[in-house]
């Protein structure tokens, strides 16, 4: 009966898989599977090879859906392993089952079970090793040691965050009174090392794949230096959130506190209460296992602190959310133990004080029903979001809009994860717009990448310098026959908004000559684009927020272009449209207010200023100045006028110190 429930869970997760490309790294993994490419460092070779095999074995549905099986099925098996681990510690089967199902229905766990991503398989590997260690300490059979060694090798070949589990695993094995002690023999150790390297051998995949020059080959893994950079995650920093992450203690402390916001959102208050009681009760259940949980949570919290995620935008917050999936796996054990403990305490109280036998039975049963209702509420709230996400084509539309922006034979450079990977998938897998030249400029200084570009795009002119700025300048000056379009403009030349992109012009004169045509093209593009409309459910998917932000930021740049050409009426129309998509956008509201103020329309200016919260006005001096200008011109009797005046005077005296201090 229990196993049947997990079979149903597996089919349910498979049913909700999205057939369309998704955000973050998801599109990249679909591209890697189809083209035998190499994913960004650390390469994820075990996942990459497995996904490439699955894509070729399954003859139906989309590539994304097929690769997504490596998320939905592992999540199911992980839930089953949670149940088995809890059983090993004599947790009641009902609570073990409900706890494991709750894990599968937690929002980030469920979301990343429905798209190509590495986290579900990572949790499966971690849960498998944990279960094998528990079995090995109880049954003392070498076969468990052999499986542990193999799985550790696979863990190295899959996702580096497994190292966060090593202290806990070691203590779980060492502190168990019925562990192996001194029973290791040379033969056992030899086979363990052999099996570890068998699992590690999946790192041959990027080396071999690199020889075939796939579309994605991040570090030229066929060379020793490239392989080391892949496996060490050198371009980003081994355990940093990204290449630009630097030590910033206030931000890192904020990262730690942010986990409690996510916990409240995903587990609710009831779940947090269960966790707190479970963290206390787990010591009575099994001290080595309790120490394992405590150590894991401590190390995982330190990782979130050390990695230094940036949570001031949707993409950075989405990246952070993915790395909570491992702590959630750890927390589900004390949550389950805590729910069983509280059930025992409350039911004991009921049985002791109620005299009516029927009432006792109903009351005790009601406690279990309450737990089922709690899980059902989380399930029902999240299923609405998952179902809408499943049927959405936001990232496919985004990639297509990028490529449709370009004139024939143009050069395009996109760099952000949510832009580059979906667009690369559309370009390389769907072979959409093969006339354009798809370039990743940060790698122009790498000889192997230049050779690849020259082979793919004969006639392209590239510099051999190892200076990034000079190589980029050379590209721009010598390849502008059909237009060069970047997602983010550089310091060289003159850049003008061109739909979702920026178009390069050598100087102000050439940009000025194209002014009229540029406005016409932008107008046409923005009528054709698919700006995503997000309801309150889809706003929970942070990558979708990031895409909407990208569209509206580009649209705002078009508005600025219109304003620069004295098209005030058209500018106002653009800004108002942005506010229809994002009713609360302080920067856009301030721009609108400034325009209305310049036209002496105090009421319209005030309507926009008064929508902005003070905490957002204080973030930037220019924001505060805009608000002050409104009150100075239109409403000097308002208390905010004198308040903002005092703050600005103080800022001027202190040489414009950071407004965040206020």
What's the pLDDT score for residue 123? 97
Cis peptide before 42 (omega within 30 of 0): yes
What's the pLDDT score for residue 350? 79
- Walking along the chain (662 residues) 10 residues at a time, the average pLDDT comes out as 91 95 92 95 95 95 95 97 95 94 97 96 97 87 88 94 93 65 69 92 95 92 92 72 64 85 94 95 91 95 87 88 95 96 85 71 82 94 94 94 95 92 95 94 91 92 88 92 93 91 92 88 94 92 94 94 90 94 91 90 89 84 85 86 83 50 32
What is the rounded CA–CA span in Å between residue 454 and residue 438? 12
What's the pLDDT score for residue 237? 64
Residue 483 backbone zone (phi > 0: left; psi -120 to 50: alpha; other: beta) = left
Q: Under a CB-based contact definition with an 8 Å cutoff, are residues 192 and 146 in contact?
A: yes
Domain ranges of the chain: 2-389, 397-583
Q: What is the dihedral of CA 82, 139, 202, 194, to 10 degrees?
A: 170
How crowded is residue 450: how many other Cβ atoms within 10 Å of its Cβ? 17
For the chain, state the CA radius of gyration.
Answer: 28
**Number of helices (H) and strands (E), helices first, in the chain?**
30, 5
What is the rounded CA–CA span in Å between residue 148 and residue 288? 18
Burial code (b: 16+ CB inside 10 Å, e: under 16) for 356-366 equals: eeeebeebbee
DSSP 40-109: STT--HHHHHHHHHHHHH--SS-HHHHHHHHHHHHHHHHHHHHHHHHHHTT--HHHHHHHHHHHHHSHHH
pTM of the complete model beyond 0.75: yes
Q: Under a CB-based contact definition with an 8 Å cutoff, are residues 563 and 519 in contact?
A: no
What is the rounded CA–CA span in Å between residue 199 and residue 638? 70
What's the pLDDT score for residue 1? 80
Cα–Cα nearest to 627, from 637, 649, 646, 612: 612
């Amino acid at each position: 009966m229990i196993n049947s429930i997990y079979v149903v869970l597996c089919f349910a997760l498979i049913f909700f898989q999205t057939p369309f490309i998704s955000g973050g790294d998801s599109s990249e993994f679909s591209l890697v599977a189809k083209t035998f490419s190499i994913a960004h460092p650390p390469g994820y070779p075990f996942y990459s090879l497995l996904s490439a095999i699955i894509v070729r074995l399954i003859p139906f549905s989309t590539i994304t859906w097929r690769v997504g099986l490596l998320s939905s099925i592992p999540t199911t098996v992980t839930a089953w392993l949670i149940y088995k681990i809890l059983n090993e510690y004599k947790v009641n089967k009902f609570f073990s089952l409900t706890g494991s199902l709750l894990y599968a229905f937690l929002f980030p766990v469920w979301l990343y079970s429905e798209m190509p991503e590495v986290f579900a398989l990572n949790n499966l590997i971690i849960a498998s090793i944990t279960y094998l260690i528990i079995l090995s300490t109880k049954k003392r059979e070498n076969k468990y040691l052999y499986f542990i060694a193999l799985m550790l090798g696979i863990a190295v070949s899959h996702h580096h965050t497994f190292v966060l589990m090593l202290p806990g695993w070691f203590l779980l094995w060492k502190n168990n009174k019925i562990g192996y002690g001194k029973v290791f023999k040379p033969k056992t150790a030899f086979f363990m090392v052999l099996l570890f390297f068998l699992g590690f051998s999946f790192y041959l995949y990027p080396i071999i794949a690199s020889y075939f020059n796939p579309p994605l080959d991040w570090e030229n893994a066929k060379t020793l230096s490239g392989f080391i950079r892949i496996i060490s995650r050198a371009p980003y920093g081994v355990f940093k959130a990204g290449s630009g992450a630097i030590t910033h203690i206030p931000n890192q402390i904020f990262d730690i506190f942010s986990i409690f916001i996510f916990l409240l959102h995903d587990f609710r208050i009831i779940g947090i209460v269960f966790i707190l009681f479970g963290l206390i009760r787990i010591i009575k259940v099994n001290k080595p296992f309790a120490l394992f949980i405590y150590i894991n949570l401590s190390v995982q919290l330190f990782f979130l602190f050390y990695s230094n995620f940036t949570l001031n935008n949707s993409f950075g917050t989405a990246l952070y959310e993915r790395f909570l999936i491992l702590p959630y796996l750890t927390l589900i054990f004390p949550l389950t133990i805590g729910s069983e403990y509280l059930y025992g305490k409350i039911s004991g109280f009921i049985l002791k004080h109620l005299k009516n036998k029927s009432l006792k039975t109903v009351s005790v049963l009601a406690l279990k029903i309450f737990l089922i209702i709690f899980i059902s509420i989380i399930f029902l709230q999240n299923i609405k979001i998952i179902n809408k996400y499943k049927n959405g084509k936001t990232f496919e539309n985004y990639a297509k809009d990028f490529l449709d922006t370009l004139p024939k034979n143009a050069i395009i450079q996109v760099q952000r994860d949510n832009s580059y990977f979906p667009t690369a998938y559309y370009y390389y897998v769907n072979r959409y717009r093969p006339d354009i030249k798809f370039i990743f400029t940060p790698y122009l200084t790498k000889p192997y990448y230049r050779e690849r570009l020259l082979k793919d795009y004969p006639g392209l002119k590239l510099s051999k310098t190892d200076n990034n700025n000079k190589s980029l300048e050379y590209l721009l000056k010598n390849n502008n026959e059909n237009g060069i379009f970047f997602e983010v403009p550089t310091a060289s030349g003159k850049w003008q908004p061109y739909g979702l992109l920026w178009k390069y012009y050598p100087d102000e004169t050439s940009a000025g000559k194209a002014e009229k045509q540029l406005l016409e093209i932008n107008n046409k593009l923005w009528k054709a684009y698919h700006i995503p409309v997000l309801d309150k459910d889809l706003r929970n998917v942070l990558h979708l927020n990031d895409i909407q932000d990208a569209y509206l930021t580009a649209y705002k740049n078009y508005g600025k272009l219109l304003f620069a050409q004295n098209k005030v009426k058209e500018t106002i129309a653009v800004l108002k449209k942005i506010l229809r998509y994002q009713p609360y956008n302080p920067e856009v509201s301030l721009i609108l207010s400034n325009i209305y103020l310049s036209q002496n329309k105090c009421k319209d200016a005030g309507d926009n200023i008064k929508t902005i919260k003070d905490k957002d006005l204080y973030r930037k001096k220019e924001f505060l100045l805009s608000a002050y200008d409104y009150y100075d011109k239109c409403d000097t009797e308002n208390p905010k006028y004198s308040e903002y005046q005092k703050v600005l005077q103080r800022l001027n005296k202190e040489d414009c110190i950071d407004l965040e201090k206020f």
